[in-house]
Amino acid sequence: MAIKAGKKVPNFKIPIEDGRNISLKDFAGKNLVIFFYPKDDTPGCTKEACGFRDENKKFNKKNTFIIGISKDSLKRHQKFIDKYDLNFTLASDEESNICEKFDVWKEKSMYGKKYMGIERSTFLIDSKGILIREWRKVKVKNHVEEVLAEVNNL
């Protein structure tokens, strides 16, 4: 069953770029932005990640941490972080478990060919673990600013 706005997000564990596992419990008392994106080092995903990188200090001042999630490997995540000097955590959901919980693993279509992939989506979880806002089918332009504005209203 997909996670819904206004409800507590169930705890989950996911591996991050340095090989450790993190869980939602690790962010108790903090706000959390989780953004799901299709693939490391592609134009839209790079622009989105760099947008979060550039505004990360403003998010941190509001007790808000950022996690990017894709199906890329931990090794690929580390290369992406190093290449663009990303200053937040990237988590790997190679099995799509977390993607399915957040209902972002979708059938997509390109040039008439259907395939499964991550629908670019962002979720804002408050310090009590409640999903307070979700953005689906995200367009990268101005998205980070929109998320930051929502965080500033907390």
What is the Cβ-side half-sphere exposure of residue 75, based on CA atoms within 13 angstroms? 0
Q: Is the pLDDT of residue 106 over 90?
A: yes
Q: Is the pLDDT of residue 130 over 70?
A: yes
Looking at residue 1, its pLDDT comes to 62
List of long-range contacts for 138-141, beta carbons under 8 Å, 24+ apart: 138/35, 138/48, 140/44, 140/47, 140/48, 140/51
| Confidence grade of residue 3 (pLDDT, cut at 50, 70, 90) | confident
| Region 80-109 average pLDDT | 95
Q: Count Cβ atoms below 10 Å from residue 81 Cβ, excluding itself.
A: 20
| Confidence grade of residue 154 (pLDDT, cut at 50, 70, 90) | confident
Would you kindly state where each structural domain of the chain is located, as residue ranges? Answer: 30-152
Q: Is 9 within 8 Å of 25 (Cβ atoms)?
A: no
Q: Is the pLDDT of residue 86 over 70?
A: yes
Q: Is the pLDDT of residue 10 over 90?
A: yes
Q: Which two tokens stand for residue 154?
A: 């907390």
Supply the pTM of this predicted model: 0.95
Q: Which two tokens stand for residue 50?
A: 């760099």
Q: Is the pLDDT of residue 109 over 90?
A: no
Q: Is the pLDDT of residue 115 over 90?
A: no
Class of domain 30-152: alpha beta
Distance CA 138, CA 121 (A): 6
As a 3-state breakdown, the chain gives helix, strand, coil percent values, each rounded to 5, of 30, 30, 35
| Region 98-107 average pLDDT | 94
Q: Which two tokens stand for residue 124?
A: 């804002």
- CA torsion sign for 121, 138, 81, 152 is negative
Q: Tell me which residues are annotated as active site.
A: 45
